[in-house]
């Protein structure tokens, strides 16, 4: 496995967001997407971010995922202060410690399901035998053992998102970041993808941060955090999560 950076304290939250601000542009036309957000994301929990369009959800996911840098404040992910990393360090962090799931699935059309799941393993040059074994395990975990050789165009939307979840898990990430993962799926398919996310939190012990408008997804979250106009305005623990 790839060398992990920073000591991970199992008692510490997976992610600590401290007074984070993010503005785009400057002067009177600046957009203040995040205006001082502080949030802890506990290990092994599914945290949902809700809020109207433009409230700052994607901006926050991008910052936590090391895809963007804050204008102010600090983010610590599993013992690593993201502010201490240069571009290469952030790239390594995204590759080795974070799995991403997007609304539009983001699979490579010419690769089979198995090859798509194997992409992160290839990127860290995992030995072929280890890669094939892990891909098989992951496809079985997401219920697609019989679809390994199909390309994304031959799979339904829900199946494609399952492949994306398997790919996100490939490198045993500390954190999965999902931006509207059920946004392009009908409600029944969305529900099954959401149940899959819930299940991998339980079985793999992974931590998930998901931005969503999907009420069903919020109901299975351990915690729902609400953003409005770049600030946290509410937080609740849905009853269904008290398992
Ligand atoms: N690269 C950018 N340049 C300028 N403004 C941006 C940029 N990215 C985001 N914004 C602005 O920041 C604010 C927050 O956007 P963000 O995408 O985080 O919202 P969101 O809650 O994810 O919305 P949605 O639910 O529609 O995805 C919006 O006003 C948006 O227009």
ipTM for the complex shown: 0.96
Cβ contact 41:209 at 8 Å: yes
CATH entry, 44-67+87-241, from 3.40.50.10420, 3.40.50.300, 1.10.3720.10, 3.30.950.10: 3.40.50.300
Ligand 1 atom 31: the closest Cα is on which residue? 54
Q: Is the pLDDT of residue 173 over 60?
A: yes
Residue 34 CB neighbour total at 10 angstroms: 26
Residue 132 CB neighbour total at 10 angstroms: 15
Instruction: Give the whole-angstrom CA distance, residue 137 versus residue 80.
Output: 29
Q: Pairing mode, if any, of strands 72-77 and 15-24?
A: antiparallel
Cβ contact 40:15 at 8 Å: yes
User: What pLDDT does residue 241 have?
Assistant: 52
Residue-wise pLDDT for 134-160, tens only, equals 999 999 999 999 999 999 999 999 999
Contacts of 179 (CB under 8 A, 6+ apart): 57, 58, 61, 100, 101, 102, 103, 210, 211
Q: Determine whether the shortest distance from the Cβ of 58 to ligand 1 is under 6 A.
A: yes
Considering only 2-16, 27-41, 101-115, which range has the smallest mean pLDDT?
Answer: 2-16
Query: Over the Cα atoms of the chain, what is R_g?
Result: 18
Prediction pTM value: 0.91
Instruction: Give the whole-angstrom CA distance, residue 228 versus residue 57.
Output: 9
Residue-wise pLDDT for 40-63, tens only, equals 999 999 999 999 999 999 999 999
Q: In what side-by-side order are the strands of the sheet with 46-50?
A: 98-102, 175-179, 207-211, 46-50, 223-228, 231-236
Report in angstroms the alpha-carbon separations of 88 from 61, 84, 93, 126, 175: 19, 11, 9, 20, 19
Residue-wise pLDDT for 76-118, tens only, equals 999 999 999 999 999 999 988 999 999 899 999 999 999 999 9
CA pseudo-torsion sign 162, 168, 172, 178: negative
Mean pLDDT in residue range 110-132: 94
Q: Determine whether the shortest distance from the Cβ of 134 to ligand 1 is under 6 A.
A: no
Q: Determine whether the shortest distance from the Cβ of 30 to ligand 1 is under 6 A.
A: no
> Where do the structural domains in the chain lie, given as residue ranges?
44-67+87-241
At 139, list the tokens: 């496809």
Q: 4: which DSSP letter?
A: P
Q: Determine whether the shortest distance from the Cβ of 161 to ligand 1 is under 6 A.
A: no
Q: Determine whether the shortest distance from the Cβ of 57 to ligand 1 is under 6 A.
A: yes
Pocket test for ligand 1, best of 21, 26, 31, 50 (most atoms within 8 A of CB): 31
User: What pLDDT does residue 8 have?
Assistant: 66
Ligand 1 atom 8: the closest Cα is on which residue? 59
Residue owning tokens 């995204």: 94
Q: Determine whether the shortest distance from the Cβ of 207 to ligand 1 is under 6 A.
A: no
Q: Residue 179 C-alpha to ligand 1 middle, in angstroms?
A: 13
Q: Determine whether the shortest distance from the Cβ of 3 to ligand 1 is under 6 A.
A: no
Q: Determine whether the shortest distance from the Cβ of 212 to ligand 1 is under 6 A.
A: no
């Amino acid at each position: 496995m790839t060398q992990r950076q920073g000591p991970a304290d199992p008692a510490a939250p997976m992610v600590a967001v401290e007074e984070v601000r993010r503005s785009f542009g400057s002067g009177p036309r600046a957009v203040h997407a995040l205006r001082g957000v502080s949030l802890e994301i506990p290990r092994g929990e599914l945290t949902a971010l809700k809020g109207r369009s433009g409230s700052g959800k994607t901006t926050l996911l991008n910052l936590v995922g090391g895809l963007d840098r804050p204008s102010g404040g600090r983010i610590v992910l599993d013992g690593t202060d993201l502010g201490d990393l240069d571009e290469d360090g952030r790239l390594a962090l995204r590759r080795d410690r974070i799995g991403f799931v997007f609304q539009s699935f983001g699979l490579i059309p010419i690769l089979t399901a198995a090859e798509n799941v194997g992409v992160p393993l290839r990127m860290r040059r995992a030995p072929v035998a280890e890669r094939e074994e892990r891909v098989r395990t992951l496809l079985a975990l997401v219920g697609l053992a019989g679809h390994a050789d199909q390309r994304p165009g031959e799979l339904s939307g829900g199946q494609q998102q399952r492949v994306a979840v398997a790919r996100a898990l490939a490198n045993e990430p500390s954190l999965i970041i999902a931006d509207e993962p059920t946004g392009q799926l009908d409600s029944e398919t969305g529900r099954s993808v959401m149940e899959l996310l819930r299940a991998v939190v339980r079985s793999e012990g992974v931590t998930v941060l998901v931005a969503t408008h999907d009420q069903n997804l919020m109901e299975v979250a351990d915690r729902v955090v609400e953003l409005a106009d770049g600030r946290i305005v509410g937080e609740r623990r849905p009853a269904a999560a008290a398992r």
